[in-house]
Structure 1
Amino acid sequence: MNKIKVIDAYYRGLLTMEECAQILGFDLRQLTDMIESCMLDYPTIPVERA
């Protein structure tokens, strides 16, 4: 599954952070760090809507 789509589902409230981390194969701390890093680098990431 596309990582951006999984993170978008988390942002839209369709997944919990724990579910998101499990799908992506990260532990919760890794996911939190990745999301924070992405938001600093790309505050307005365009997300493809299906």
Structure 2
Amino acid sequence: MYSESAGIGRIIPCAVAVPLDADDVVTLVRWAYANGIPLIPRGSGSSM
């Protein structure tokens, strides 16, 4: 669940991307930029 973490904030994302390698990241960033979509990276979700 990507809306859960140890913090108090609860936001359900519109989409979740799980790139497998650096090429996937490049493709994702280029697509997001071309479509005006902000990217918000997520770590482990522990908020610690």
Larger relative contact order (C-alpha < 8 A, sep ≥ 6)?
A: 2
Q: What TM-score does the superposition give when structure 1 sets the normalisation length? A: 0.35
Higher helix fraction (1 or 2): 1
